[in-house]
Amino acid sequence: MKRILFASFSWVLLWGPAGAADCPPAPDHSADLDALIAEVQQAETEMAAQEISNRMWGLWADAPDESAQAVLDRGMSRRNAWDLLGALEDFDRLIAYCPAYAEGYNQRAFVNFLRQDYQSALTDLDRALALTPNHIAALSGRALSLLGLQRVEEARVALKRALDLNPWLPERHLAAPGGPLAPPGDDI
């Protein structure tokens, strides 16, 4: 019984109202990310670009501390298992604990995108981008969410910005001739 009470008390301390004050700053990977962006822009093959993108994901998914990392990892596992409500709970906890960590918002946006709640996804993506302006995945997610909201011109702009950073994104096909985000006149 003491163990249960202690665990409950620890949970309240970690995730209660004071939780955000306890979250350390997110690791600053900006120089490494800038280097990877330069590298992916020079990639000669899609396979090489994918390997670089995976390294970017490693930086974005590096949470501020072990507690935040555990919640992020669990939320991503739940999302991958299509436990979207469980994933939302985890990402809500992560954001409450670490409101300055962009990946919490990006992951919650992804879950809301999967739920076709594009407006909620867009709100979180805008917050993620305010924290990490060159978060390529958030930029492409923003383009897809805007497309889901049928805000095509804004989606084109967001996708172009993402493709300027990483021309190998899978979403690049949306901007190709005939694609829904092709430049005006090329979308027929």
Structure tokens at 95: 């954001």
- Domain made up of 28-171: CATH architecture: Alpha Horseshoe (1.25)
Q: Could you tell me where the DSSP H helices lie in the chain? A: 2-15, 19-22, 30-42, 46-60, 66-80, 84-97, 102-114, 118-131, 136-148, 152-165
So where are the chain's domains? 28-171
| Cα angle, residue 36 at apex, residues 76 and 102 outer, rounded to 5° | 40
Structure tokens at 151: 């805000």
Look at residue 171 and tell me whether its pLDDT is greater than 60.
Answer: yes
What pLDDT score was predicted for residue 26?
93
Nearest to 147, CA basis, from 182, 177, 178: 182
Least confident range from 1-5, 111-115, 131-135, 168-172: namely 1-5
What pLDDT score was predicted for residue 188?
52
